[in-house]
Amino acid sequence: MMLAGARFRTILLRLVLLALFLAAAGCGDKAPKLPRVGDSGVIVAFGDSLTYGTGATEQESYPAVLAQITGRQVIRAGVPGEMTAQGLRRLPEVIAEFRPDLMIVCLGGNDMLRKVNENETRANLRAIIKTIREQGIAVVLVGVPRPALLASPPEYYGELAREFGIPYESGALKAVLYSTDMKSDAIHPNAKGYRRMAEAVAELLRKAGAI
């Protein structure tokens, strides 16, 4: 009986240690921290048609829904068809006009569609993030999946997020674009898809302490 009791205590101890390990691992899965955006702060959603809201109304675009969820002003600075090189050239005007506290960058899909060299796209995104950071503005990056069946965002999104230590949303658009009931066409969400995207970005902002 004593042997059985000792074995039981050993198993119990192992279970407790496993639970503690899993809890610690879960706590380690955190987004990089961002300065809090106050109630009167400005967030700029910067990107292409995915930010503009093609496939839905303006009120159904992800920036508009994000504003509803967060209670913050969210500027919809999306230009349909824009490539990363064009976004880089447009960026200074957007910063000067809105002076945001935080920018959400979602670009790269049109580069992929037009088969721009990945090194060029990566360099442009890096320059965009660097320019924003140099202005003292916080940045969040949203990954865009490759235009292929069961594809994920290219690795350079995650690499850039790690390089700059910024929050990165990698799964929302992939989930949306693989769900027929959340798409308006092959490459754009519908109202339901944009809401899912906004909810994912809002959750990331909460984890990062921005809202």
Instruction: Confirm if 77 and 136 have CB atoms less than 8 A apart.
Output: no
Q: Which of 10-19, 26-35, 150-159, 160-169 has the lowest mean pLDDT?
A: 10-19
**Please, how many CA atoms are within 13 Å of residue 143, restricted to the half-sphere of its CB?**
22
Supply the pLDDT for residue 13.
Answer: 43
What are the chain's domains?
Answer: 42-208 (3.40.50.1110)
Q: Give pLDDT tens digits for 124-149.
A: 999 999 999 999 999 999 999 998 76
Contacts of 97 (CB under 8 A, 6+ apart): none
pLDDT at 150: 65
**pTM score over 0.95:** no
Residue 5: the pLDDT is 53
pLDDT digits (tens, 9 = 90+) for 73-128: 999 999 999 999 999 999 999 999 999 999 999 999 999 999 999 999 999 999 99
C-alpha radius of gyration, the chain, whole number: 20
pLDDT at 103: 98
DSSP 156: H
Q: Do 37 and 72 contact (CB within 8 A), yes or no? A: yes
pLDDT at 151 over 90: no
Cα(147)–Cα(187) distance, integer angstroms: 8
Q: Between 23 and 150, where is the model more confident?
A: 150
